Amino acid sequence: MKRPWAGQVEKPPEEHVPRYDPCNPLCPRNTRANGEVNEDYESTFVFDNDFPALQPDAPDPGSDQHPLFRSKAARGVCKVMCFHPWSDVTLPLMKKDEVVKVIDKWSDIVEELGATYAWVQIFENKGATMGCSNPHPHCQVWASSFLPNEPALSDRCQGKYYAAHKEPLLLHYAQQEAERKERVVVDSSHWLVVVPYWATWPYQTLLLPRRHILRITDLTREEREDLADVMKRLLTKYDNLFEVSFPYSMGWHGAPTGPHLKEDYSHWHLHAHYYPPLLRSATVKKFMVGYEMLAQEQRDLTPEQAAEKLRNLPDDHYKTR
């Protein structure tokens, strides 16, 4: 962090996004690439991704394969979900009841797609630095017939811990972090946000419920209301850090669905990951390269330093002061 920086500098996020752009395919009433016209929506809006990475009828490659070159059919569906009809708002600037509607829609989608598919991945890429090509507030949902690499690894680790300790790993972890407090960023009666002990991205956070919950569909009305407040507080602190619309990739992980719904997944605990890239300023990000790609990730900040910086930031957004 003390080394002088003469490397790549990112372009700051656009601060003056038009509320409505007739050429933006995510805005209400506009025509998308496939010719379909968006609804005149006033809240959330979900549609099939016009360029899906997963198809429900992907062909089976067959079983006659060399052991070094094996593949299987990856079947699924991809959805896009708009959070709000306006392009010039983001989650921290939305009203609490509007964020609750986003959470409710996430739950509805998981319930709908989770009835069939083994994994339903909700994720948001925010900002051009994270590869997001459209400033309109939105996320994606990919549902797959298989358990992808990251949740499969998480499933194994949580299962191993549960078998040894008879307690869900992340529930126990949340309890420990709540007691220690040094890595806590935001907390409430139902939720806890920490910079995790193992964090490698500078201001990485983990969002955890205090009660043992398997999936987002299991949240009570009170927990959803509280979650909306916690999300707004966290994302406001992110924006306030460098006084910029803070880029990140985030996503929810819950117990597997589809054929796994009837199985015992008591070892799982619902959680959300936030991975922001910015390190020194609004224009200098962390580069995960060299030693970190080939050997092991290194920390530019300790989790405790990052948590303290975020925790001490105001809860009111810099744009509303």
pLDDT at 35 over 90: yes
Whole-number average pLDDT of the chain: 95
**CA 126, 129, 134 angle in degrees (round to 5)?**
50
Give the pLDDT mean for 204-226. 98
Q: What is the mean pLDDT of residues 15-36?
A: 94
Q: What is the pLDDT of residue 13?
A: 72
Distances (CA, A) of 258 to 81, 111, 261: 21, 10, 6
Which string of b and e fits 93-106 if b means at least 16 CB within 10 Å?
Answer: bbeeebbbbbbbbb
- Angle between helical axes of 169-180 and 149-165 (0-180°, round to 10): 80
Q: What is the pLDDT of residue 10?
A: 78
- Residue 231 CB coordination number (10 Å): 25
- What pLDDT sits at residue 219? 98
- Report percent pLDDT > 70 for the chain: 99
Regarding predicted confidence, which is higher, 84 or 283?
84
pTM of the predicted protein model: 0.95
- Given 84, 138, 190, 253, which residue is catalytic? 138
Asked whether 208 and 170 are in contact (CB, 8 A), the reply is: yes
H-type alpha helices, 166-270: 169-180, 221-242
| pLDDT, tens only, 270-294 | 999 999 999 988 888 898 999 999 9
Reading the block at residue 7, the tokens are 């490397």
Q: What is the pLDDT of residues 89-134, one digit of tens each?
A: 999 999 999 999 999 999 999 999 999 999 999 999 999 888 888 9
For residue 258, give the DSSP letter.
G
pLDDT tens for 251-271 read: 999 999 999 999 999 999 999
Q: With 70 as the cut, is the pLDDT of residue 227 above it?
A: yes
pLDDT tens figures, 165-210: 999 999 999 999 999 999 999 999 999 999 999 999 999 999 999 9
Banded pLDDT at 222 (limits 50, 70, 90) = very high
Mean pLDDT of 13-18: 82
In the structure, what pLDDT confidence band is assigned to residue 7 with cuts at 50, 70 and 90? confident
Q: Cβ contacts of residue 294 below 8 Å, gap of 6+?
A: none
Please give the pLDDT value at position 141: 98
- All structural domains of the chain, each given as residue ranges with its CATH number in brackets, are 30-59+70-315 (3.30.428.10)
User: Which pLDDT score, from 0 to 100, does residue 6 have?
Assistant: 65
Q: Does residue 267 carry a catalytic annotation?
A: no
Residue 182 burial (10 A CB sphere; 0-12, 13-18, 19+): middle
Q: Provide the pLDDT for residue 1.
A: 67
pLDDT at 8 > cutoff 80: no
